[in-house]
Amino acid sequence: MISKQTLASAALGGAALLLLAGCSTSSTSNVSAGSVGETSSTSPTPTSTTVAALPFNAGGYLAGNATPKVAVGDAGKVSVVATAPLEKSDGMGSGTLTFAFRNNTAAPISHVDFTGTASAGGKVVASGSSQDTVPAQVKPGEAGFGYLYFEDVSSVPESGVQYEFKASTSPADTSSYNSAPLNVTQADNNGTSIIGTAMNKTGEALTGPYSVGIYCFSGDTLTSSTTDYATESGDIEADATVSFSHDLYDTPCDTFTVGVSGWFK
């Protein structure tokens, strides 16, 4: 499920990325983030890693009733570890691929962006980029969630698809227009919408828009995602709050987590 505001999100995110590029010199770009088959799930994967895998929501930024176990992934890199089924948009030809990742580097990261390809029969059949990741800052060993938006999935078959990912990240600091995590303080599913609030506990002033990323699960397995924006869009000071209400449009999401992010001024 993808928000009707996805294209606006992509434009705003791209503008912020250009601003951020002038603020940080230690960003990483287009680094391999692993390969995931379409049947992968978020079950734990034993592997050698120099960074200890932290439990879900170790940073405390997310809220909801989901407590998934997330696979460890590849040592020393930002690694995609699981995907949900590809969601194809009826009549539009586009699609959304929800995924889980883990920061197995030794430093906290922010402004996490992914690109990815779908391959079948030895050929690339779709290419896309991420529109949202949560949380906005990810500790070493911490897991996060995002999704790729594919503009054209008409060539993607129903089975036998392999996804390849690349990640771009920035240091988790408070530089201007770096991504800023808000702490989600309330997130309730009333049967038709997910409604809640988030507080700015960064100690710094933030600016909007404030993206709301909602990720749905069945047990430990990702099933779908959707994005929206907080009601407030202007500047907020430290300890101020924003609110959100997102219509699920009858999509099942009984088990979920929510992350909210803005930008440092």
Query: Which DSSP string corresponds to 40-100?
Result: ----------SSPPPPTTTTS--EES---------TTSEEEEEEPPPEEPTTT--EEEEEE
Same-domain pairing of 70 and 160: yes
Asked if residue 195 belongs to a domain, the reply is: yes
CA distances from 58 to 70, 88, 96 (A): 12, 32, 26
Are residues 149 and 62 both part of a single domain? yes
Q: Both 146 and 183 in a single domain?
A: no
Task: State how far the Cα of 16 lies from the Cα of 220, in Å rounded to an integer.
Answer: 33
In the chain, how many domains are there? 2
Pick the closest to residue 89 from 192, 191, 213, 6 (CA basis): 6
In which domain, by residue range, is 53 found? 26-171
Q: Which of 117, 135, 136 is nearest to 127 (CA)?
A: 117
DSSP structural state of residue 229: E
If asked whether residues 99 and 197 sit together in one domain, one would say no
160 and 222 part of one domain: no
Q: How many CA atoms lie within 13 A of 169 on its CB side?
A: 30
Tell me, yes or no, whether 16 lies in a domain. no
Q: What is the mean pLDDT of residues 220-243?
A: 97
pLDDT digit string, tens, across residues 142-167: 999 999 999 999 999 999 999 999 99
Q: Is the pLDDT of residue 215 over 80?
A: yes
Whether 107 and 128 share a structural domain: yes
Q: Among 171, 192, 215, where does a domain finish? A: 171
CA distances from 60 to 63, 72, 125 (A): 8, 19, 37
Residues 12-17 have a mean pLDDT of 39
- Note every long-range contact of 235-239, with CB atoms under 8 Å and residues 24 or more positions apart, other chains counting: 235/205, 235/206, 235/207, 235/208, 235/265, 236/200, 236/205, 236/206, 236/207, 236/208, 236/262, 237/200, 237/205, 238/200, 238/201, 238/202, 238/203, 238/204, 238/205, 239/199, 239/200, 239/201
Q: What pLDDT was estimated at residue 39?
A: 52
Residue at which a domain ends, from 130, 152, 171 = 171
Instruction: HSE, CB side, 13 Å, CA atoms: give it for residue 125.
Output: 20
Q: In terms of domains, do 243 and 125 share one?
A: no
Same-domain pairing of 108 and 144: yes
- The pLDDT assigned to 50 comes to 77
Q: CA–CA separation, 236 vs 256, rounded Å?
A: 26
Q: What is the mean pLDDT of residues 106-132?
A: 96
The whole-angstrom separation of Cα 194 and Cα 226 is 11
Residues 6+ apart with CB under 8 A from 104: 49, 50, 51, 53, 72, 73, 74, 75, 76, 77, 78, 79, 140, 141
Structure tokens at 146: 């995002």
Instruction: Count the alpha carbons within 13 Å of 193 in the hemisphere toward its beta carbon.
Output: 8
Residue 66: what pLDDT? 98
Give the pLDDT of residue 40.
Answer: 53
Query: Hey, what amino acid is at 46?
Result: P
Is the pTM of the predicted complex or chain greater than 0.85? yes
* Structural domain contains residue 81: yes
Whether 132 maps to a domain, the answer reads yes
- Residue 12 counted as domain residue: no
Inside any domain, residue 5: no
Work out the pLDDT band at 10, boundaries 50, 70, 90.
Answer: very low
Q: Has residue 20 been placed in a domain?
A: no
For residue 88, name the pLDDT band (cuts at 50, 70, 90): very high
Q: Do residue 133 and residue 57 come from a single domain?
A: yes
Give the model's pLDDT for residue 103: 97
Q: How confident is the model at residue 79 (pLDDT cuts 50, 70, 90)?
A: very high
Q: Is 130 helix (H, G, I), strand (E, B) or coil?
A: strand
Domain of 257, CATH number, reads: 2.60.40
Where among 123, 140, 171 does a domain terminate?
Answer: 171
Domain-located, residue 228 = yes
- Report which secondary-structure segment, H or E, holds 125: strand 123-134
